[in-house]
Amino acid sequence: MNSQDYIALDEKYGAHNYHPLPVVISKARGCKVWDPEGREYFDFLSAYSAVNQGHLHPHIVAAAKAQLDTVTLTSRAFHNDRMGPFLKKLCEYTGFEKALPMNTGAEAVETALKAARRWGAEVKGVPNGRQKIICALGNFHGRTIAVISMSNDPDSYINYGPYVPGFVKVPYGDAAAIEQAIDDDTVAVILEPIQGEAGVVVPPEGYLARVREICSSNNVLMILDEIQTGFCRTGKRFAWQYENARPDIMCLGKALGGGIMPISAIVADHSVMDVFTPGTHGSTFGGNPLAGAVGMAAIEVLEQERLEENAYRLGIRFRERIAALHAPRVRLVRGKGLLNAIVFDEGYEAYPVCVALKEKGVLAKQTHGNIIRFAPPLVITEAELDEAVARISEVLLSL
Ligand SMILES: *Cc1c(COP(=O)(O)O)cnc(C)c1O
């Protein structure tokens, strides 16, 4: 079978809930992928930042393979010998006291929302049923019913009602709007430190630090969704570190699974995490030994290869090179570390640009029509980045 055949099968048997580029990936390694015809591409999406460590990182693959010969799933009815060491590592890496493992990012967000509501009722003293959580316009936190109830993107929420109540939406990047929205029933504020799906929207400097102050002085939890920005993507371990705006709850996912399997978690200190007691939350697969082994190896790679430093340095190089092109149609390039976006003129359709990039051997995906996100695996070398930028430049200058 060739690429066309595989695409036809997806079209015929799969739900049409995505609009992928017409490319089939059948092999991958590091920051490169190949199609069934043997054509080579740079992966500049990294599965939405789930493969920060690069495809098939040998350390993570070895950990997975070894674990496949011992034990993979126990459920939380019993202890296993992989979860504890993994959670210890995760707490040490993030600087929090406790972790609660789940599987997908949306589940981590749900877990954070539940923790905040319960904390509101049991610690802050808000009557159950009145808890309010403030979220930001333009957010993307996942696809469950509660999570899309926070969304103002019609594609995400339309015709999925009734929606979950208790969310208050305020403009992103405006700390005063959060302060004004807080009342006695407010238990938490949830934000992405950089809005990834919205098109790599970087908030004004000082925003996260100010939100941190507002939350502290109003006895409101600050939840940061670092599912896409976390684990070195933005040039720091976590994006909040740019402003030392340590949240009360941090949502993690994507790269925590090392590109191998879905692994997510929330991390928090005792004062918040202790609201969960036996039977009040859980997941059959959360904390399974295979995830423990893979998650541990995924963090070890980030740590040992100091990927935040590579992301920081090459991110600056990427933005400088693209900006220096002064390409027609390109309004600006923005981002932090290796989470970047090229923003085209208003109304300019970026999908054909992605198809042209694919023809030149660079895979990237547009978001919101006129924006393309560029987020290669963080193991990319300077020479590889330069090669990819040369190909991107060719396309941009031909528009
Ligand atoms: C991808 C993403 C999620 C959802 O993760 P899933 O694993 O797809 O459920 C949540 N928040 C952010 C910021 C994301 O980028």
Q: Indicate the number of domains in the chain.
A: 2
Dist. CA 41 → ligand 1 center (Å): 25
Taking the C-alpha atoms of residue 328 and residue 342, their distance in angstroms, rounded to an integer, is: 12
At 346, which CATH number? 3.90.1150.10
Q: Give the model confidence (pLDDT) of 263-322 as tens digits.
A: 999 999 999 999 999 999 999 999 999 999 999 999 999 999 999 999 999 999 999 999
Catalytic residue among 254, 336, 358, 365: 254
Q: Looking at the structure, do residues 279 and 141 belong to the same domain, yes or no? A: yes
What per-residue confidence (pLDDT) applies to 285? 98
Catalytic residue among 86, 96, 140, 167: 140
What per-residue confidence (pLDDT) applies to 368? 85
Residue 350: what are its φ and ψ, rounded to 5°?
Answer: -90, -10
Mean pLDDT estimate for the chain: 98
- Contact residues of ligand 1, CB 6 A cut-off: 48, 104-106, 109, 140-142, 192, 196-197, 225, 227-228, 253
Dist. CA 281 → ligand 1 center (Å): 20
What per-residue confidence (pLDDT) applies to 211? 99
Specify the ligand 1 atom closest to the Cα of 107: 9
| Residue 177, burial from CB neighbour count under 10 angstroms (0-12, 13-18, 19+) | middle
What per-residue confidence (pLDDT) applies to 309? 98
Residues 6+ apart with CB under 8 A from 140: 151, 153, 156, 192, 195, 196, 197, 198
Q: Looking at the structure, do residues 117 and 260 belong to the same domain, yes or no? A: yes
Q: Looking at the structure, do residues 37 and 98 belong to the same domain, yes or no? A: no
What per-residue confidence (pLDDT) applies to 293? 98
Q: Looking at the structure, do residues 193 and 80 belong to the same domain, yes or no? A: yes
Q: Looking at the structure, do residues 23 and 87 belong to the same domain, yes or no? A: no
The owner of tokens 């939406």 is 169
Q: Looking at the structure, do residues 244 and 293 belong to the same domain, yes or no? A: yes
Q: Give the model confidence (pLDDT) of 330-347 as tens digits.
A: 999 999 999 999 999 999
Domain boundary among 304, 336, 357: 304
The owner of tokens 């918040």 is 272
Specify the ligand 1 atom closest to the Cα of 50: 1
Q: Which residues of the chain have pLDDT under 70?
A: none
Taking the C-alpha atoms of residue 158 and residue 217, their distance in angstroms, rounded to an integer, is: 36
Catalytic residue list contains 225? yes
Dist. CA 394 → ligand 1 center (Å): 32
Q: Looking at the structure, do residues 157 and 300 belong to the same domain, yes or no? A: yes
Q: Looking at the structure, do residues 49 and 152 belong to the same domain, yes or no? A: no
Q: Looking at the structure, do residues 160 and 284 belong to the same domain, yes or no? A: yes
**CA 147 from chain center: how many Å?**
14
Mutate to test the pocket of ligand 1, among 49, 141, 194 (most ligand atoms within 8 A of CB): 141
Residues 6+ apart with CB under 8 A from 301: 53, 57, 59, 60, 258, 307
What per-residue confidence (pLDDT) applies to 373? 98
What per-residue confidence (pLDDT) applies to 23? 98
Q: Looking at the structure, do residues 93 and 108 belong to the same domain, yes or no? A: yes
Domain boundary among 248, 269, 304: 304
At 163, which CATH number? 3.40.640.10
Which residue's alpha carbon is at the smallest distance from atom 10 of ligand 1?
141
Dist. CA 112 → ligand 1 center (Å): 13
Helices (H) and strands (E) in the chain, counts: 14, 15
Which residue's alpha carbon is at the smallest distance from atom 6 of ligand 1?
105
Domain that holds residue 146: 58-304
Q: Looking at the structure, do residues 284 and 341 belong to the same domain, yes or no? A: no
Please tell me whether the overall predicted TM-score, pTM, comes out greater than 0.95 for this model.
yes
- Amino acid of residue 355: V
What per-residue confidence (pLDDT) applies to 213? 98
Domain boundary among 282, 304, 326: 304
Q: Looking at the structure, do residues 87 and 50 belong to the same domain, yes or no? A: no
Single out the residue of 327, 330, 315 nearest to residue 374, CA to CA.
315
Dist. CA 105 → ligand 1 center (Å): 5
What per-residue confidence (pLDDT) applies to 370? 96
